[in-house]
Amino acid sequence: ATAGPETAVLTATPGPLRIEDYQDLAQRRLDDQVWDFVEGGAGTERTVDANRCAFARVTLRPRVLVDVSACDTGTELLGAPLATPVGVAPTAYHRLLHPDGEVATALGAGAAGALYVVSVFASRTLEEIAAEAAGPLWLQLYWLRRREVLAGLVERATAAGYRALVLTVDAPQLGRRHRDARNGFAVPAGISAVNLDPALMASAHRSDAGRSALAVHTAEAVDPSVTWADLAWLRARSELPVVLKGILTAEDAVLAVQHGADAIVVSNHGGRQLDGAPASLDALAEVVDAVGAAGCPVLFDGGVRSGADAFAALALGARAVLLGRPVLWGLAADGAAGVAGVLGLATEELAHTMALAGRPALPAVDRSAVVLAPGPA
């Protein structure tokens, strides 16, 4: 039959209905090397896979005959009110994905009322990003060998209105990311971690088959000798709260609290660092229990691809969840609108899950709302 106007309407492609629709759009737009950089993980990528598989072991326990006529996703984090507990994880070099880079991400996060954790490897300046941001910004740091550069970043972040420092503690060396090594992946000329000293960037641009420039660059820039004792140095540089990202065990959660961490992010870096580390979701309850009810807030990232996933992590004790790759898919697909689209979809799905689970506000999204079956040993 010939397609008439009605058929055309019926077969018109709808906009993104799920977060993975943005993944498809992004893949079509990105070149293979950038795609591999975004999607890839360390080693066998079994921790990347584990992050996703863990969510398939979640069962939700709905309660009924609860008034869910208004479901409130609002929360508070380190003193700032947030419209949604779904935020943006720190990821490097957003200009690889969109010409406006992190400025587009900030606009999208602001439109969604979401927290944005800016990577120290951002490709726009901290000040440019802050000028466009409508929501709270935190700055993620790696412990650089050159402490004067680190101190300068802390000062600039404070002056530009960033509200917390997030020290990533799971990357004393870069994970062995075979896709990037095979591709000889390097940061293209014209894109750079502009907040670092340009001299620190030279190795990141050197393309070399069989080697990832990022691994070489990280080895040059990041100080692998840092320990718990050094945290006092960072604390003394700024009044800003200090958040530790990349905690996966009760032991380290206790140490983090003892050393005055203002928050913790349970994360395995999206499976990009220690291959064989547990799925983030499997580590969450252990960390939350070790921190205790009176302890600091615990955030979560790793494998969240829907509002239902966010609900599960919140139920297991996370105060907020961060999205890494999904935000990059949105950014590549449609700039600021794509970022807002991904965050908005996750928040909408979260509110929907809250309604059908009979938990109309986040404090009611507690352990009684979820069962996480044990994973394979």
Q: Which residues are annotated as a binding site for glyoxylate?
A: 142, 177, 269, 272
User: According to CB under 6 A, which one of 270, 297, 338, 341 is a site residue for ligand FNR?
Assistant: 270
Q: Which residues contact 204 (CB under 8 A, 6 or more apart)?
A: 186, 187, 192, 193, 213, 214, 216, 217
* Closer residue to ligand FNR (CB): 108 or 324: 324
**Angle made by CA atoms 45, 39, 242, in degrees to the nearest 5:** 90
Could you say whether residue 95 binds ligand FNR (CB under 6 A)? no
Compute φ and ψ for 372, nearest 5 degrees: -110, 110
User: According to CB under 6 A, which one of 123, 267, 347, 353 is a site residue for ligand FNR?
Assistant: 267
* Closer residue to ligand FNR (CB): 23 or 75: 23
Residue 205 among the catalytic residues? no
Could you say whether residue 192 binds ligand FNR (CB under 6 A)? no
* Closer residue to ligand FNR (CB): 327 or 357: 327
Return the closest-CA partner of residue 325 out of 15, 56, 88, 110.
88
* Contact pattern for ligand FNR over residues 21 through 50, marking x by CB under 6 A: ----------------xx------------
Could you say whether residue 126 binds ligand FNR (CB under 6 A)? no
Name the minimum Å distance from CB 141 to ligand FNR: 9
**Angle made by CA atoms 204, 207, 213, in degrees to the nearest 5:** 40
Could you say whether residue 73 binds ligand FNR (CB under 6 A)? no
Could you say whether residue 175 binds ligand FNR (CB under 6 A)? no
Stretch that binds ligand FNR, among 173-181, 266-274, 288-296, 351-359 (CB under 6 A): 266-274
* Contact pattern for ligand FNR over residues 278 through 307, marking x by CB under 6 A: -----------------------xxxx---
Q: Which residues contact 247 (CB under 8 A, 6 or more apart)?
A: 169, 253, 256, 264, 265, 266, 267, 287
Q: Which of 94, 98, 269, 352 is catalytic?
A: 269
Name the minimum Å distance from CB 301 to ligand FNR: 4
* Closer residue to ligand FNR (CB): 306 or 359: 306
Query: Quick check: 279 and 299 in contact, CB under 8 A?
Result: no
Q: Which residues contact 91 (CB under 8 A, 6 or more apart)?
A: 119, 324, 325, 327, 328
Instruction: For residue 253, give Cα distances in angstroms to 16, 249, 258, 265.
Output: 38, 6, 9, 10
Q: How many residues bind ligand FNR (CB under 6 A)?
A: 23
**Angle made by CA atoms 168, 216, 177, in degrees to the nearest 5:** 70
Structure tokens that stand for 366 in this block: 């507690």
Could you say whether residue 140 binds ligand FNR (CB under 6 A)? yes
Q: Which residues contact 108 (CB under 8 A, 6 or more apart)?
A: 327, 330, 331, 335, 336, 337, 338, 339, 340, 341, 342, 343
Residues annotated catalytic, as ranges:
269
Which residues lie near ligand FNR (CB under 6 A)?
37-38, 51, 89-92, 119, 121, 140, 168, 245, 267, 269-270, 272, 301-304, 323-325
